Structure 1
Amino acid sequence: MRGTPESRGYDKDWWRLRHAFLKAHPTCCVCGAKATHVDHIKSIREAPHLRLAEGNLRAMCGPCHSRRTARDQSQAWGKR
C-alpha cells in the first residue's frame, strides 16, 4: 500500500517548494518542453533527508517524468 501523499512526503512544504521550483525552472531538463512536474533525483524513499533540497530536484514535462518513473519502478522490481 502506497499510503497518502502526505505520508509519502508530499505535504504543504513540498507543494510550496514545487510551485517556486517550477516558476524558477519552467522548462523540462530533458527535452525543453514546458515543465509540469518536479522530479526527485534521489527518491524520498532512498534519501528522505533530501526531500526538500533544491539540489535534488529537476523540472520535467509530463512525458519525460512518466518515462523516468516507469524506468525507476521497473529497476526497483528487478531488485526484489
Structure 2
Amino acid sequence: MKDIALKKFCRKPGCSKLTGDKYCEVHKNQDQLYNRERGTASQRGYDGRWRKARARYLASNPLCKKCFEQGKVIAATVVDHITPHRGDMVLFWDEKNWQELCASCHSRKTAKEDGGFGNG
C-alpha cells in the first residue's frame, strides 16, 4: 500500500492551496527570500550577549506583565521589545523598551503589530 500524506492548507494567510509542506510552491519561495533578507537571529542581535541579558532580565522579572495585569500568575518566557527595534541596536539594547511576557501574550502582540502571523 502506498503512503499517502494528508495535504494541508498553505500557511500563508489567505492562501487556499493545498500542500504536503508548510507552504505551497509560490509561498515557499517567498518565505525563503524573506528569511534570506531578514538575516539569522544572530545577525539580528539575538546572540550570546542577548541570551545572557535575557536570562538576567527574566530572573528579575519572572511573571508575564500582561497576564499579571489581568490577575493571572503566569511565568514570563520572552523578553519583548515594546517598540519593535527593526534593526536599531540602540533601541534593541534599551531596557526601558523591554517587557516580560509569556509566549501566548508575545504571539498575540506580534500578530497584532504585523497584521497577522507572517504578514510583516
TM-score interval (norm. to shorter)? 0.7 to 0.9
Find the counterpart in structure 2 of residue 36 from structure 1.
77
Tell me if structure 1 keeps the 8 A contact 2:44–2:87.
no
Runs of 5+ consecutive residues of structure 1 not aligned to the other structure: none
Secondary structure, aligned partner of 2:66:
coil
TM-score by length of 2: 0.58
Rounded to whole Å, the distance in 1 between the matches of 2:93 and 2:50 is: 7
Paired residues, number: 77
Percent identity over paired residues: 40
Structure 1 moving runs of 4+ over 3 Å = none
Q: Tell whether the 8 Å contact from 2:61 to 2:76 is kept in structure 1 after alignment.
A: yes
- Calculate the aligned-residue CA RMSD, in Å: 1.9
Say yes or no: does 1:50 pair with 2:50: no
**CA displacement 1:17-36 (0-9 Å, x = unmatched):** 10000000000110121101
- Give structure 2 stretches of 5+ with no counterpart: 1-33, 69-73
Selected match of 1:26 from 51, 59, 62: 62
Q: Secondary structure at the match of 1:59?
A: strand
Greater helix proportion: 1
Question: Of the two, which has the highest radius of gyration?
Answer: 2
Greater relative contact order: 1 or 2 (C-alpha under 8 angstroms, separation 6 or more)?
1
